[in-house]
């Protein structure tokens, strides 16, 4: 073989060796990765608990390197009987003896040939192990030796572990045996405890309980200890026969007896101390009851079970103490209530008394009291959360309650309200604190049954406590009723007493039933007696009216305007004879109060009989007034009766209930009789057509026609025109303005019959009856405006009329209040303006303001208007209507205007009406007069009139637009105002209070006004609405109103301010670009091109004050 071929073979062998080495390296790397994941040596070392040292790590690495075995061995070496180490050592020693170079190779080759004769030299060269591999084998040997050592250590450890494991196993067997034994012992002890535990517990008391009862403070822990002692004692006593020979029981009984005696002593001392504390000055008994007695009610129960005699003595001590406590406190409270100013009753408080004695028509102050008007006195029954008046408020002379005159119902209500509240609280306490004493082991059902059984006992105890107070209450009631002629006050006391009875029944407190019945026995006889006194006063008064002279004398004595008619024939006297009598106003208010308080009265009450007798005498008296005042003028008598009974009906119209319905029916029957009689008489006198007489006769004799045609239409327009053929002037709108115009026109045209058309069943049911009833001074309007001139003139005329006709009114004055510099500047401008228009005003100093009205706040200043006042608008309406009808005028109620046409050639106007409530929309300045929708139910009628006055208030724009061309149409605007009542007795100012005006508001702000009974009310505010029909108070307005009120009356009780009623002011729409609340003057003019047609548009506030002056102006426009 050539040398070149050998070199190629060597190269191929080297390449194969390199490939083998690479494969071995890859295998080693894979093995290393596997060993890294889990090294057996590491696992073994962890088992043995040994740490590897550096040599071990080297050994491990060598072992890892030696583990990699080539895929093909060059030769299997025969070691003979030599170990690997000896074989290696033999090889080393043989190598040392030979020399380096070729000779050494031959020796090796000879050796190899000796061992393997069939091997060629080429095989020896290719299979010869490289000497460089020797170190590797040596390392492998060392590693194997290290592994032998490790395995020997493991073997030793495993041997020891096996030995120890055997020991542990033996111990476990011992523990298992021990556990079985302990479980058996535990079960035996539990069985023993189950058997002996209750018995031991029954005859043992904890030391803690003994120490607490002996000397610990009385608290909840003390009560628990007491219950423990009592339970043990009860158990021992219950099992005396069973435990008779038990030594522990015999030893415990003396200790238990002493412990119970100590507990009784401590309970007695504690209860006595608490009862004594009630007698301390200014002590509130209910505080002690709740915090010191009821909280520890188990103490009394323990005492009652273990020492009943002592417990009863404790109860009696409590009864005596509380008897003294309540009697002394209610005596002081009664003395405080006696300091309230009560109305002093006299003979003039009877219906037949002198109406001028009280001077309520011409003078007004904060203590005004009207015994014939219920007014806000009814609020005492309506209060949702009534509370008794504190005694310090009744005693303090600076409190508003001291400045107000009250009725007898105020002290009666406060005393009895405080009484039933205290009775209820005391009943609740006594039944809980002194309930029947039952052992703690008794069930709740047993306790409940015993509680029911002892109800009579608890009631008897409460009677012992409150009997002196009941006597005091009866004495107070007798004192209040003695010589009192305040029938409304007595009936209020009756209703309050009934309310108290219902409340006690609701609370299930039977203690005061006898007291309530005794109070009823005092109230009802006195009520009947006073009602009889009223009846007798009317009878005596009527007895003096038998002749014209007697009537005149009686009229002088009693200032009766109607009777003065007989002394002269001038128009003023004549115009007054049909006006409602002042006595009718008093009777109507009195009747309204009785009916309002009897809306839920039972048939067994004496109110109905007493009222029937009173009503009979009033009817007789009114008939005598009519005959005495009108002599032989039958028509005048009928008008007089008509106006008086109409006033009564107007006053009682809002009452409800069975008795109210009966009284309304009586009034309706009388009115029907007077109306039909008058119409029939007029028809016969003037020769009316036969059809009219037949129709009227049918009305007289057929009840169904009477109800249909009369109750719903008192003065049908068709009958008026069939009889009053000369009726000419027509006024649309039966409010205060329409009535005033009708009165003036009737006086200016005595030979014609002026007719007032009103779509409602009563006059003045819209704006007139839904305002503040204030007589304004005319401060707020431009100098040259109609509002200013007519308000100032109307103010003088109204005061004069009220004084001459005895119409309830008062010149209260008004304060305009400024809270900052800007508002003060507004007041200065008002003052200067009032000087120019000659209306009296003055600035009130701060000191004077504080003295006069301490509850009022005006930070910047006060401007007083001296000519501002209030008036009873219903009485004013009644007077104007009476005078109008006396002058020959007629009122057509339930007559709605549906159309108006102008006749050609100055022939007047045709008015299309529908009677019987057929008109739908519209209204008037207080009554409504037209604007209805055509085609609705009722009788249609068309009348012709030379003169037509449009005073329809809310419907005035609609009436005007019916007649005038489209380019002259006007647009209305509606400002809704909400009024708020005030149920509290303070603060109560003596004059009207207005905030400083704000431009563009559309009103005067939420101000404070007073009614004729002195009650406070607030409003109106301003809320723009789309029509006059929205008369429901908006609850959302209350919060804003309270905020405005507190600006000038900070002490007002917000919770006592409630929504009352609403009114809608008939305004005119402003021009384009103007504020909605900008000033708009009255429009009162005879329309150009429409002779005899007078338009009154935008007659809002001050329409009531200006009404009489407006009547004069319309008369001037028509007749010059």
Q: Output the average pLDDT for the chain.
A: 78
Report yes or no on 791 lying in a domain.
Answer: no
| Bridging pattern class, strands 727-732 and 948-950 | parallel
| Comparison of pLDDT for 799 and 358, the residue scoring more | 799
Instruction: Tell which of 284, 306, 328 closes a domain.
Output: 306
Which SS3 state, helix, strand or coil, does residue 1093 take?
Answer: strand
User: What sign for the dihedral angle of Cα 609, 610, 612, 617?
Assistant: positive
| Domain co-membership, 386 together with 260 | no
| Domain co-membership, 358 together with 431 | yes
| Domain co-membership, 477 together with 605 | no
Report yes or no on 95 lying in a domain.
Answer: no
Average pLDDT over residues 109-129: 55
The most confident of the ranges 791-795, 934-938, 975-979 is 791-795
Beta bridge partners of residue 995, listed in sequence order: 817
- Per-residue confidence at 882, pLDDT binned at 50, 70, 90? confident
| Domain co-membership, 573 together with 461 | no
Structure tokens at 861: 């200043």
Report yes or no on 369 lying in a domain.
Answer: yes
Question: What is the tens place of the pLDDT at every residue in 479-526?
Answer: 999 888 889 999 999 999 999 999 999 999 999 999 999 999 999 999
Question: What is the tens place of the pLDDT at every residue in 31-51?
Answer: 666 555 555 556 555 555 555
Q: What is the pLDDT of residue 439?
A: 56
Which SS3 state, helix, strand or coil, does residue 805 take?
Answer: helix
Burial letters for 313-347: b for 16+ Cβ neighbours within 10 Å, e otherwise? ebbeebbebbbebbbebbeebbebbeebebbebee
| pLDDT at position 823 over 50 | yes
Alpha carbon distance 578, 650 (integer Å): 16
Please report where in the chains the tokens 């509002």 appear, as a residue: 787
Query: Of 281-285, 532-536, 689-693, 745-749, which gets the smallest average pLDDT?
Result: 689-693
Question: What is the tens place of the pLDDT at every residue in 312-325?
Answer: 999 999 999 999 99
- Per-residue confidence at 117, pLDDT binned at 50, 70, 90? low
Q: What is the pLDDT of residue 762?
A: 79
| Comparison of pLDDT for 338 and 601, the residue scoring more | 338
Report yes or no on 266 lying in a domain.
Answer: yes
The most confident of the ranges 369-373, 574-578, 1096-1100 is 1096-1100
Average pLDDT over residues 206-212: 86
Query: Of 115-129, 152-166, 518-532, which gets the smallest average pLDDT?
Result: 115-129
Alpha carbon distance 640, 645 (integer Å): 9
Instruction: List CB contacts of 1064: < 8 A, sequence separation 6 or more.
Output: 766, 767, 770, 954, 974, 975, 976, 977, 1025, 1028, 1030, 1031
Domain extent, residue 9, equals: 1-38
| pLDDT at position 699 over 70 | no
Which SS3 state, helix, strand or coil, does residue 55 take?
Answer: helix
| Domain co-membership, 464 together with 607 | no
| pLDDT at position 292 over 50 | yes
Contact present, 754 and 731 (Cβ < 8 Å): yes
Percent of the chain with pLDDT over 70: 72
| Comparison of pLDDT for 360 and 150, the residue scoring more | 150
| Comparison of pLDDT for 50 and 916, the residue scoring more | 916
Q: What is the pLDDT of residue 685?
A: 46
Instruction: List CB contacts of 239: < 8 A, sequence separation 6 or more.
Output: 202
| pLDDT at position 475 over 50 | yes
| pLDDT at position 1104 over 70 | yes
Alpha carbon distance 387, 370 (integer Å): 25
| pLDDT at position 1032 over 80 | yes
Report yes or no on 373 lying in a domain.
Answer: yes
Q: What is the total count of domains within the chain?
A: 4
Q: What is the pLDDT of residue 70?
A: 52
Question: What is the tens place of the pLDDT at every residue in 226-238?
Answer: 888 888 777 777 7
| Domain co-membership, 236 together with 296 | yes
Q: What is the pLDDT of residue 846?
A: 92
Alpha carbon distance 308, 294 (integer Å): 19
Question: Quick one: which of 1051, 989, 1047, 1009 has its CA closest to 858?
Answer: 1047
Which SS3 state, helix, strand or coil, does residue 85 take?
Answer: helix
| pLDDT at position 797 over 80 | yes
Which SS3 state, helix, strand or coil, does residue 843 take?
Answer: strand
| Domain co-membership, 522 together with 607 | no
| pLDDT at position 300 over 70 | yes
Instruction: Tell which of 661, 690, 711 closes a domain.
Output: 711
Average pLDDT over residues 653-669: 78
Instruction: Tell which of 686, 711, 736 closes a domain.
Output: 711
Burial letters for 484-503: b for 16+ Cβ neighbours within 10 Å, e otherwise? bbbbbbbbbbbbbbbbbbeb
Average pLDDT over residues 207-236: 85
Average pLDDT over residues 974-984: 88
E runs forming strands in 983-1092: 992-995, 1008-1010, 1016-1018, 1023-1025, 1057-1068, 1083-1086
Q: What is the pLDDT of residue 1044?
A: 92
DSSP track, 8-45: HHHHHHHHHHHHHHHHHHHHHHHHHHHHHH--HHHHHH
| pLDDT at position 922 over 70 | no
| Domain co-membership, 286 together with 355 | no
Alpha carbon distance 1, 121 (integer Å): 13
Question: What is the tens place of the pLDDT at every residue in 410-460?
Answer: 999 999 999 999 999 999 999 888 876 555 555 444 545 555 546 788 888
Query: Of 45-49, 197-201, 290-294, which gets the smallest average pLDDT?
Result: 45-49
| Domain co-membership, 408 together with 349 | yes
pTM (2 decimals)? 0.59
Q: What is the DSSP letter of 730?
A: E
Report yes or no on 847 lying in a domain.
Answer: no
DSSP track, 870-935: EE-HHHHHHHHHHHHHHTT-EEE-SEEEEEEEEPGGG--EEEEEEETTT--S---SSS--B-PPTT
Length of the chain: 1120
| Comparison of pLDDT for 149 and 635, the residue scoring more | 149
Query: Of 63-67, 630-634, 779-783, which gets the smallest average pLDDT?
Result: 63-67
Please report where in the chains the tokens 């109008």 appear, as a residue: 884
Question: Quick one: which of 1111, 354, 297 has its CA closest to 747?
Answer: 1111
Alpha carbon distance 750, 886 (integer Å): 11
Element housing 990 (H / E): none
| Comparison of pLDDT for 465 and 622, the residue scoring more | 465
Rg (CA), the chain: 57
| pLDDT at position 1015 over 90 | no
Structure tokens at 709: 């045609």
Question: What is the tens place of the pLDDT at every residue in 79-91?
Answer: 666 766 676 676 6
Question: What is the tens place of the pLDDT at every residue in 337-385?
Answer: 888 888 877 666 788 876 555 544 334 344 456 778 888 888 888 776 6
Question: What is the tens place of the pLDDT at every residue in 745-770?
Answer: 888 877 777 888 888 877 888 888 88
User: What sign for the dihedral angle of Cα 1050, 1053, 1055, 1057?
Assistant: negative
Q: What is the DSSP letter of 1070?
A: P
Q: What is the pLDDT of residue 827?
A: 94
Total Cβ atoms within 10 A of residue 1061: 17
Report yes or no on 269 lying in a domain.
Answer: yes
| Comparison of pLDDT for 726 and 165, the residue scoring more | 165
| Bridging pattern class, strands 809-810 and 1083-1086 | unpaired
| Domain co-membership, 684 together with 588 | yes
Say how many Å lie between the first and final Cα of the chain, rounded. Answer: 169
| pLDDT at position 708 over 70 | no
| Domain co-membership, 609 together with 684 | yes
| Domain co-membership, 403 together with 486 | yes
Alpha carbon distance 224, 296 (integer Å): 11
Total Cβ atoms within 10 A of residue 550: 15
Average pLDDT over residues 826-836: 94
Question: What is the tens place of the pLDDT at every residue in 243-266?
Answer: 556 676 777 778 888 888 899 999
Percent of the chain with pLDDT over 90: 29
Report yes or no on 7 lying in a domain.
Answer: yes
């Amino acid at each position: 073989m050539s040398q070149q071929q050998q070199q190629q073979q060597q190269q191929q062998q080297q390449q194969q060796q390199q490939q083998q080495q690479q494969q071995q390296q890859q295998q080693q790397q894979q093995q290393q990765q596997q060993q890294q994941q889990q090294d057996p040596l590491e696992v073994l070392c962890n088992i043995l608990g040994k740490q590897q040292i550096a040599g071990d790590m080297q050994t491990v690495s060598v072992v890892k390197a030696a583990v990699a075995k080539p895929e093909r061995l060059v030769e299997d070496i025969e070691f003979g009987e030599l170990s690997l180490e000896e074989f290696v050592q033999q090889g080393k020693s043989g190598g040392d003896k030979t020399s380096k170079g070729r000779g050494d190779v031959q020796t090796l080759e000879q050796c190899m040939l000796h061992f393997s004769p069939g091997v060629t030299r080429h095989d020896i060269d290719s299979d010869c192990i490289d000497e460089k591999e020797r170190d590797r084998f040596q390392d492998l040997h060392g590693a194997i030796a290290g592994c032998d050592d490790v395995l020997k250590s493991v073997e030793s450890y495993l041997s020891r572990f096996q030995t120890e494991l055997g020991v542990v196993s033996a111990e476990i067997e011992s523990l298992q045996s021990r556990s079985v034994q302990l479980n058996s012992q535990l079960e035996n002890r539990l069985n023993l405890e189950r058997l002996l535990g209750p018995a031991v517990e029954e005859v043992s008391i904890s030391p803690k309980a003994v120490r607490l009862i002996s000397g610990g403070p009385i608290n909840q822990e003390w009560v628990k200890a007491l219950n423990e002692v009592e339970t043990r004692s009860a158990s021992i006593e219950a099992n005396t026969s069973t435990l008779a020979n038990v030594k522990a029981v015999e030893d415990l009984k003396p200790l238990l007896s002493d412990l119970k005696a100590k507990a009784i002593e401590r309970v007695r001392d504690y209860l006595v101390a608490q009862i004594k504390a009630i007698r301390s000055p200014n002590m509130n008994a209910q505080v002690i009851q709740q915090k010191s007695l009821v909280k520890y009610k188990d103490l009394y129960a323990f005492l009652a079970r273990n020492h009943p005699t002592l417990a009863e003595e404790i109860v009696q001590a409590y009864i005596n103490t509380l008897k003294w406590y309540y009697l002394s406190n209610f005596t002081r409270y009664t003395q405080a209530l006696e300091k309230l100013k009560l109305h002093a009753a006299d003979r003039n408080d009877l219906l037949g008394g002198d109406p001028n004695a009280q001077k309520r028509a011409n003078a007004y102050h904060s203590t005004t009291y009207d015994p014939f008007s219920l007014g806000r006195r009814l609020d005492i029954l309506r209060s949702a959360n009534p509370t008794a008046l504190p005694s310090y408020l009744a005693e303090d002379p600076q409190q508003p309650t001291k400045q107000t005159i009250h009725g007898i119902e105020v002290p009666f209500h406060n005393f009895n309200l405080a009484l039933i509240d205290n009775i209820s609280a005391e009943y609740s306490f006594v039944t809980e604190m002194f309930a029947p004493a039952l052992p703690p082991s008794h069930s709740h059902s047993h306790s409940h049954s015993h509680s029911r059984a002892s109800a009579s006992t608890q009631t008897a105890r409460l009677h012992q406590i409150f009997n002196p107070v009941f006597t005091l209450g009866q004495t107070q009631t007798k004192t209040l009723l003695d010589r009192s002629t305040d029938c409304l006050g007595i009936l209020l006391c009756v209703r309050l007493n009934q309310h108290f009875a219902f409340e006690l029944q609701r609370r299930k407190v039977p203690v005061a039933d006898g007291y309530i019945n005794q109070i009823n026995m005092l109230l009802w006889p006195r009520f009947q007696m006073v009602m009889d006194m009223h009846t007798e006063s009317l009878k005596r008064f009527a007895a003096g009216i038998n002749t014209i002279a007697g009537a005149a004398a009686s009229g002088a004595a009693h200032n009766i305007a109607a009777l003065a008619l007989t002394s002269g024939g001038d128009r003023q006297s004549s115009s007054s004879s049909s006006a409602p009598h002042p006595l009718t106003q008093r009777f109507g208010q009195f009747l309204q109060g009785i009916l309002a308080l009897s809306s839920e009265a039972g048939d067994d009450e004496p109110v109905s009989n007493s009222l029937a007798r009173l009503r009979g005498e009033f009817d007789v008296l009114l008939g005598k007034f009519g005959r005495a005042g009108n002599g032989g003028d039958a028509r005048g008598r009928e008008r007089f009766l008509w106006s008086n009974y109409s006033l009564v009906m107007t006053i009682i119209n809002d009452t409800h209930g069975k008795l109210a319905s009966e009284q309304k029916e009586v009034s309706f029957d009388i009115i029907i009789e007077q109306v039909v009689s008058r119409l029939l008489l007029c028809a016969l006198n003037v020769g009316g057509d036969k059809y009219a007489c037949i129709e009227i006769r049918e009305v007289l004799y057929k009840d169904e026609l009477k109800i249909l045609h009369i109750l719903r239409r008192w003065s049908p327009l068709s009958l008026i025109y069939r009889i009053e053929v000369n009726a000419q002037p027509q006024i649309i709108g039966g409010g205060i303005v329409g009535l005033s115009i009708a009165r003036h026109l009737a006086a200016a045209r005595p030979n014609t019959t002026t007719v007032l058309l009103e779509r409602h069943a009563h006059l003045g049911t819209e704006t007139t009856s839904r305002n503040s009833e204030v007589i304004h001074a005319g401060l707020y309007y431009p100098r040259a405006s109609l509002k200013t001139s007519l308000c100032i003139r109307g103010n003088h005329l109204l005061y004069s009329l009220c004084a001459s006709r005895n119409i309830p009114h008062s010149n209260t004055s008004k304060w305009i209040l400024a809270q900052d510099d800007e508002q003060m500047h507004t007041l200065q401008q008002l003052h200067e303006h009032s000087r120019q228009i000659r209306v009296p005003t003055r600035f009130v100093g701060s000191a004077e303001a504080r003295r006069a009205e301490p509850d009022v706040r005006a930070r910047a200043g006060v401007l007083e208007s001296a000519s501002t006042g209030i008036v009873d608008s219903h009485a004013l309406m009644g007077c104007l209507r009476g005078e109008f009808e006396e002058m020959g005028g007629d009122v057509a109620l339930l007559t709605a205007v549906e159309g108006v046409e102008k006749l050609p050639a100055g022939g007047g106007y045709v008015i299309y009406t529908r009677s019987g409530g057929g008109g739908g929309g519209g209204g008037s300045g207080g009554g409504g007069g037209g604007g209805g929708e055509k085609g609705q139910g009722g009788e249609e009628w068309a009348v012709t009139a030379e003169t037509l006055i449009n005073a329809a208030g809310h419907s005035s724009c609609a009436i005007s637009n019916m007649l005038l061309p489209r380019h002259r149409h006007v647009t209305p605007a509606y400002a809704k105002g909400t009024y708020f009542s005030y149920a509290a007795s303070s603060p109560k100012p003596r004059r009207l209070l207005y905030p400083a005006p704000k431009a563009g508001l559309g009103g005067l702000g939420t101000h404070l006004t007073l009614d004729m009974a002195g009650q406070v009310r607030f409003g109106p505010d301003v809320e723009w609405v789309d029509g006059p029909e929205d008369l429901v108070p908006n609850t959302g307005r209350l919060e804003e109103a309270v905020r405005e009120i507190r600006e000038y009356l900070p002490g007002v009780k917000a919770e006592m301010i409630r929504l009352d009623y609403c009114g809608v002011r008939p305004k005119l729409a402003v021009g384009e670009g103007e504020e909605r609340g900008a000033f708009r003057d009255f429009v009162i003019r005879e329309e150009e091109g429409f002779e005899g047609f007078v338009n009154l548009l935008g007659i809002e506030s001050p329409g009531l004050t200006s009404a009489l002056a407006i009547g004069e102006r319309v008369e001037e426009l028509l007749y010059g």
